[in-house]
Amino acid sequence: MPSPINRRLFLGRTAGLGAGALFVRAAGLEAVPSRGGIGRTPIIVTSHSNETGQRAVQDAWGILSSGGSALDAVELAANVIEVDPEDMSVGYGGLPNEDGVVQLDASIMDGRTYNAGAVASLEGIKTPSSVARLVMERTDHVLMVGPGALDLAKSFGFEPEDLMTETSRARWLEWRENRSDQDDWGPPDHLKDREEAQLGGEPAFHYGTVNVLAVDGNGDVSGITTTSGLSWKINGRVGDSPIIGAGLYVDNDVGAAGATGRGEDVIKSCASYFIVERMRAGRSPQQACEDALEMIRRRYAKVNPAFMPGEKFVALNKDGDYGCAWSYGGRGIPQMSVRDEAGLQIYEGVRFGD
């Protein structure tokens, strides 16, 4: 029998968790029914569930398990993913803009100090999240862009490099040769009809992004969102990832949230801030992610009821509970990598709208 204290803790932390049929699956073990991700601090999660995402949280666990900070842990994990040449959504090898130039966006937030830093349209640096950390810790600013952000990076010893790989260049050349009306010129997606807005098969654009969120042994919360942004974007376009409150938000009293997907939707809805505020109001991380998708859907419904925005949200609260949800029809169940003292897990969240 659990002690009364443990039982109260258990009831307090599981009551009211997400409505969907969720699964938490320990790596290599059978799926176990669950109603939301329930972890223990210290803990680190990422929106990437692939091999690189798993390696990222495993490596960062070394920092958390030895008493290190959530801030150092999220930076290390983000760097592991940013330097992976195979990952075309972020850092080195990320897909370029329409001119064939890789422009990176990233943000970082430190709940302990209520501090934040971000870079946008940064060229030539594989690890934009580390430059965002410099903005946060070594300047009195929050967001730096383009050449100014690059100058800052160079002043701290970063060497600019070509961020295109053979694969990303080939993808860009292919796109340029086949481009038609599938670009950012013209009306925004939500004002097109459903057939045009919901592109079938291989999507014409890629919004891939990485979120990393952590709570350390002191209960301090940090997060990073980093991306090469929307592929083939118009030169200079900035997405949600470097916008504090949109692509990332951290509150040391509550937890953290991050977004991937169509940045334009996330900026207009201040979605990460919304999720953190939902958690402050008592919603579980899983519920709060679903709340954000419903909030965005309702806003578009007034303009075009057929439009379904494409976002993925991940959230982690101060107790170590977590959740994720997305609104991509036909793309399976959203996942995230989770590392705490129980080991590495792949968590499966909720596909919104099912």
> What CA dihedral angle connects 53, 55, 56 and 57, to 10 degrees?
90
Q: Which stretch binds ligand GLY (CB under 6 A): 19-27, 154-162, 211-219, 239-247?
A: 239-247
Query: H helices then E strands: how many in the chain?
Result: 10, 16
Report the distance separating Cα 144 and Cα 119, nearest Å: 5
Q: Which stretch binds ligand GLY (CB under 6 A): 39-47, 160-168, 181-189, 225-233?
A: 225-233
Amino acid at the residue 233: K
What is 4-18 written as a DSSP string? Answer: HHHHHHHHHHHTT--
Residue 55 burial by Cβ neighbours in a 10 Å radius (0-12, 13-18, 19+): middle
CB 241 to ligand GLY: min, Å: 5
Give how many residues touch ligand GLY by CB under 6 A. Answer: 12
> What CA dihedral angle connects 287, 259, 190 and 208, to 10 degrees?
-130
CB 206 to ligand GLY: min, Å: 9
Q: Which stretch binds ligand GLY (CB under 6 A): 114-122, 146-154, 193-201, 261-269?
A: 261-269
CB 214 to ligand GLY: min, Å: 20
Does the footprint of ligand GLY cover residue 240 (CB under 6 A)?
Answer: yes
What angle do the packed helices 70-82 and 51-65 form, to 10 degrees?
150
Pick 64 or 88: Cβ nearer ligand GLY: 88
Does the footprint of ligand GLY cover residue 269 (CB under 6 A)?
Answer: no
Does the footprint of ligand GLY cover residue 326 (CB under 6 A)?
Answer: no
**Distance, first Cα to last Cα, the chain:** 38
Pick 37 or 261: Cβ nearer ligand GLY: 261
Nearest to residue 84, comparing CAs of 135, 45, 48? 48
Please, which of residues 204-223 interact with ligand GLY by CB under 6 A?
Answer: 207, 209
Residue 287: CB atoms within 10 Å: 24
Does the footprint of ligand GLY cover residue 97 (CB under 6 A)?
Answer: no
Pick 23 or 205: Cβ nearer ligand GLY: 205
In the list 129, 211, 226, 227, the residue contacting ligand GLY (rule: CB under 6 A) is 227
In the list 20, 94, 128, 229, the residue contacting ligand GLY (rule: CB under 6 A) is 229
Is the Cβ–Cβ distance between 76 and 216 less than 8 Å?
no
Nearest to residue 300, comparing CAs of 257, 248, 264? 264
Residues forming a β-bridge with 222: 110, 214
Does the footprint of ligand GLY cover residue 263 (CB under 6 A)?
Answer: yes
In the list 80, 134, 230, 315, the residue contacting ligand GLY (rule: CB under 6 A) is 230
Pick 230 or 279: Cβ nearer ligand GLY: 230
Q: Any catalytic annotation for residue 225? A: no
Does the footprint of ligand GLY cover residue 265 (CB under 6 A)?
Answer: no
Report the distance separating Cα 303 and Cα 44, nearest Å: 38
In the list 103, 127, 231, 241, the residue contacting ligand GLY (rule: CB under 6 A) is 241
Provide the residue count of the chain: 354
Residues forming a β-bridge with 212: 46, 224
Pairing of β 22-26 and β 255-261: unpaired
- Where residue 121 falls (left for φ over 0; alpha for ψ -120 to 50; beta otherwise) is left
Pairing of β 143-145 and β 210-215: unpaired
Pick 260 or 272: Cβ nearer ligand GLY: 260
Residue in 46, 52, 209, 225 annotated catalytic: 209
Residue that has been written with the tokens 């509970």 in this structure: 321
Does the footprint of ligand GLY cover residue 261 (CB under 6 A)?
Answer: yes
CB 184 to ligand GLY: min, Å: 11
In the list 260, 284, 317, 345, the residue contacting ligand GLY (rule: CB under 6 A) is 260
Does the footprint of ligand GLY cover residue 245 (CB under 6 A)?
Answer: no
The residues that are catalytic are 209
Which residues would be at the binding site for ligand GLY (CB under 6 A)?
A: 207, 209, 227, 229-230, 239-241, 260-263
